């Protein structure tokens, strides 16, 4: 049942004119409601923040003014529970929740609810707009997730799909979709059908049936300019061919950005929102960084294809080294850019520094991998063998790499090997199993004098038969996936340099085996 309107003098607060003057001079929005959820006080900052004039807000249900529809039932139930019991989970707690502006635009507010019993319960709160602060924090998480996808995805499609999910979830968008560039004499954009969270009709069908030439529609404009673009209202855009389908699907605003590889547009990602409006500050700048991250995936694909065609060509090898290093460098550059622009203060410098630390660690491992490959090839690898506790070393690698694996190694097992070489062997095998295998991934060891057999397995069907003959060759890869193609060749080279070997076991229980001298 609708709550009745109440007659309230808007000029007077609980302590008269002085109280109203005090709350009107506050830098935060001040709102209070009675036990039925009706607004009893609304200061000038609340007018600015939510768009409702004081005389429009007073006497109305707060849930109808600023609370998003999906939270209204919980708000009313919580209010009724507190009035009945005098207790509530959210009272006196610092909260951050979405709210609605009069225009329908969403914003994030931070507040604490103060219940006061004065002729019945009243609930007072000062609210602060934290939309920009939370957006900056989401941007940091977005850059980190896209960097992870770009560095570890097994294919362009996997990287794009993971990025679409991160973009949709962390940019307050309803839908995300990707296009790839094709060239049939003239370049054009082909819809991939990769949507997150799912395809919505009739926009999905209209998108599937459309291709875009350079300059045509939002995707074509972005592809041609190489710059992100925002459409405030698709219904009023004459160069948005799908606008009727978009509006019918509940979409009003849209933005898109290019994925650039070697300064060429290779893909376009578009995102849709439900309400007309402008982008948050810095959103399009962050999208440039996201597009650069994903561009590294395309560059690696191209470089690997070139390398497979001319594996002995030194320039191709140098190119692949450069592209492998550019991925984490781009992530680190994006994070330092946010810090330099002053966006790290509220977004959480710890998160940015953590992102930098992880990307620099990845750079170090890549450099170590290429140096090790070069030394193995030149026969100049130095081996400093000593007794090494295998269980402790494996656990350190698992922790450092955050690998989701099951370790089953007796603490007493030791090998007579170079500990850095064993650590690199374990890292490469686990990374390979996690990327290409099926969980659970396991690593175990047993003594088979005069060696220790280290076994890495997963629940998948194993390596395809056609790949096995060249599994341990340099630059050999089973699929067009992310990676240097050096990992398994380095595993075998290090194992042999330390007096052991590395092999692959097929059959009912496929696994990678490395044997090393027992200490």
φ, ψ (nearest 5 deg) of residue 411: -60, -20
Tell me the pairing of strands 405-408 and 414-417.
unpaired
Fold of 386-517: Heat Shock Protein 90 (3.30.565)
- pLDDT under 50 in the chain at which residues? 1-15, 312-313, 315-316, 319, 479-482
Domain with CATH 3.30.450.40 in the chain: 134-372
178: CB partners within 8 A, 6+ apart: 160, 164, 192, 194, 267, 268, 269, 270
Instruction: Measure the CA angle with vertex 469, ends 464 and 470; round to 5°.
Output: 100
Contact 94, 85 (CB under 8 A): no
Q: Where in the chain is CATH 3.30.565.10?
A: 386-517
The rounded Cα 406 to chain-centroid distance in angstroms is: 26
Name 334's Cβ contacts closer than 8 Å, sequence gap at least 6.
143, 147, 289, 292, 293
Q: Where in the chain is the domain with CATH 3.30.450.20?
A: 17-129
144-203 tens-digit pLDDT: 888 888 877 778 898 999 999 999 998 889 999 999 999 877 899 999 999 999 999 999
Residue 301, token pair as written in the block = 């694909």
For residue 340, the model assigns a pLDDT of 60
Q: Which residue has the tokens 């955050």?
A: 402
Residue 252: name the closest of 65, 50, 103, 101 by CA. 103
- The pLDDT value recorded for residue 198 is 93
Sheet arrangement for strand 29-34: 39-42, 29-34, 121-129, 106-117, 94-100
Q: Give the pLDDT confidence of 221-248 residue by residue, as tens digits.
A: 999 999 999 999 999 999 999 999 999 9
What is the three-class DSSP state of 237? coil
- Supply the CATH classification number for the domain 17-129: 3.30.450.20
Helix (H) or strand (E) holding 72: helix 69-85
- Say yes or no: domain 134-372 is CATH 3.90.1150.10: no
Please enumerate in sequence order all residues whose Cβ is within 8 A of that of 242, keeping only pairs 6 or more positions apart, or say none: 203, 206, 207, 210, 217, 234
pLDDT value of position 297? 87
Q: Which ranges of 89-201 does DSSP label H, i.e. alpha helix? A: 131-152, 156-170
For 390-453, the DSSP string reads HHHHHHHHHHHHT--EEEE--TT-EEEE-HHHHHHHHHHHHHHHHHHS-SPEEEEEEEETTEEE
pLDDT of residue 307: 59
Instruction: Please tell me the predicted confidence (pLDDT) of residue 263.
Output: 86
Instruction: Give the pLDDT of residue 199.
Output: 94
Tell me what pLDDT residue 481 has. Answer: 47
- Helix (H) and strand (E) counts in the chain: 17, 18
Q: What DSSP element (H or E) covers 115?
A: strand 106-117
């Amino acid at each position: 049942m609708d709550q009745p309107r109440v007659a309230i003098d808007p000029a007077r607060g609980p302590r008269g004119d002085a109280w109203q003057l005090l709350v009107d001079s506050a830098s935060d929005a001040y709102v209070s409601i009675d036990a039925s959820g009706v607004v009893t006080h609304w200061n000038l900052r609340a007018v600015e923040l939510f768009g409702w004039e004081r005389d429009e807000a007073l006497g109305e249900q707060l849930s109808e003014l600023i609370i998003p529809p999906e939270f209204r039932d919980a708000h009313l139930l919580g209010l009724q529970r507190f009035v009945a019991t005098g207790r509530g989970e959210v009272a006196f707690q610092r909260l951050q929740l979405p709210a609605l502006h009069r225009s329908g635009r969403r914003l994030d507010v931070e507040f604490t609810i103060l219940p006061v019993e004065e002729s019945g319960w009243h609930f007072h709160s000062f609210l602060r707009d934290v939309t920009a602060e939370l957006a900056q924090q989401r941007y940091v998480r977005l850059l980190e997730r896209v960097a992870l996808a770009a560095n570890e995805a097994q294919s362009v499609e996997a990287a794009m799909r993971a990025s679409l999910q991160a973009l949709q979830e962390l940019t307050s968008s309803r839908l995300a979709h990707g296009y790839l560039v094709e060239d049939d004499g003239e370049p054009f954009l082909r819809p991939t059908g990769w949507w997150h969270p799912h395809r919505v009709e009739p926009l999905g069908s209209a998108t599937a049936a459309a291709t875009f030439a350079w300059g045509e529609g939002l995707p074509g404009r972005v592809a041609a300019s190489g710059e992100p673009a925002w459409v405030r209202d698709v219904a009023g855009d004459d160069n948005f061919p799908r606008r009727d389908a978009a509006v019918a699907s509940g979409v009003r605003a849209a933005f898109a950005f290019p994925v650039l590889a070697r300064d060429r547009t290779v893909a376009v990602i578009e995102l849709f929102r439900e309400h007309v409006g402008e982008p948050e500050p810095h959103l399009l700048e962050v999208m440039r960084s996201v597009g650069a991250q994903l561009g590294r995936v395309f560059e690696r694909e191209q470089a690997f294809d070139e390398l497979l065609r001319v594996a002995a060509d030194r320039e191709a090898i140098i190119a692949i080294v450069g592209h492998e290093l550019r991925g984490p460098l781009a992530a680190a550059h994006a994070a330092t850019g946010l810090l330099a622009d002053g966006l790290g203060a509220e977004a959480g410098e710890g998160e940015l520094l953590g992102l930098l630390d992880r990307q620099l660690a990845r750079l170090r491992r890549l450099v170590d991998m290429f140096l090790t490959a070069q030394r193995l090839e030149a026969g100049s690898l130095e081996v400093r063998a000593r007794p090494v506790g295998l269980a402790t070393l494996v656990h350190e690698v698992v922790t450092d790499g955050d690998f989701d694996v099951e370790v089953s190694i007796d603490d007493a097992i030791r090998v007579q090997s170079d500990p850095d070489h064993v650590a690199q062997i374990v890292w490469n095998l686990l990374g390979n199993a996690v990327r290409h295998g099926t969980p659970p991934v396991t690593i175990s060891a047993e003594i088979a004098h005069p060696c220790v057999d280290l076994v890495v397995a997963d629940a998948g069907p194993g390596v395809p038969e056609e790949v096995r003959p060249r599994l341990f060759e340099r630059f050999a890869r089973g699929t067009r996936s992310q990676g240097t193609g050096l990992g398994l060749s380095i595993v075998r080279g290090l194992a042999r340099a330390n007096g052991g070997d590395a092999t692959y076991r097929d059959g009912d229980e496929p696994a990678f085996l490395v044997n090393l001298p027992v200490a």
